[in-house]
């Protein structure tokens, strides 16, 4: 999230699953899809739900890191792009590919992935105003100054990942 945290939006596993299925319902009429590209790591869970519901078997990842300390966006790092094999199967523009992520925030990650697959359909579960114009389909808009706590980040309270000293 850019700027100081002012609001929080905790999302339970049940709520996230409902929202990801709602995203699938919206996407059902837009296909057919030849593949899903999940933006890691946040896009992995909704991509799995969408893939199951729409019976999409070909799933690729784009690995982009922009949140490095769970509180602010840092330098964007593309750690893995789209595979040459997927491009060969679908074409360089990505027509028929569904890009899935959990959230579009400032749009930095979305811009990078859009450059890789300009003709793909971009879908996120949640969208903030700065990034919203970059996605084609989303379920819930939250204010720019809201920090979303996803279920994989939560216990009864925020749980830091093991590599950060979490128990």
> Is 101 an active-site residue?
yes
Catalytic hit among 69, 84, 105, 153: 105
Catalytic hit among 14, 55, 69, 101: 101
Looking from the CA of 105 toward its CB, the CA atoms found within 13 Å total 18
Residue 161 has a CB neighbour count (10 Å cut-off) of 10
> Is 105 an active-site residue?
yes
Residue 167 has a CB neighbour count (10 Å cut-off) of 6
* Region class of 41: left (phi > 0), else alpha (psi between -120 and 50), else beta: alpha
Catalytic hit among 14, 19, 84, 102: 102
> Is 164 an active-site residue?
no
Phi, psi of 97 (to 5 degrees): -100, 140
Residue 84 structure tokens? 């040459």
What residues are labeled active site?
A: 101-102, 105
């Amino acid at each position: 999230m850019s700027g100081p945290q002012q609001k929080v939006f905790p999302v339970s596993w049940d709520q996230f699953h409902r929202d990801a299925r709602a995203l699938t319902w919206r996407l059902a009429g837009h296909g057919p899809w030849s593949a899903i590209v999940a933006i890691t790591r946040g896009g992995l869970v909704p991509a799995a739900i969408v893939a199951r519901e729409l019976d999409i078997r070909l799933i690729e990842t784009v690995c982009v890191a922009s949140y490095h300390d769970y509180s602010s966006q840092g330098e964007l790092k593309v750690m893995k792009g789209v595979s040459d094999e997927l491009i060969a199967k679908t074409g360089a523009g990505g027509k028929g590919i569904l890009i899935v992520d959990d959230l579009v925030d400032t749009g930095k990650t979305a811009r990078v992935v859009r450059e890789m697959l300009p003709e793909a359909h971009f879908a996120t579960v949640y969208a903030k105003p700065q990034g919203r114009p970059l996605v084609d389909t989303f379920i819930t808009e939250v204010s720019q100054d809201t920090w979303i706590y996803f279920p994989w980040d939560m216990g009864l309270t925020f749980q830091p990942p093991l590599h950060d000293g979490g128990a």
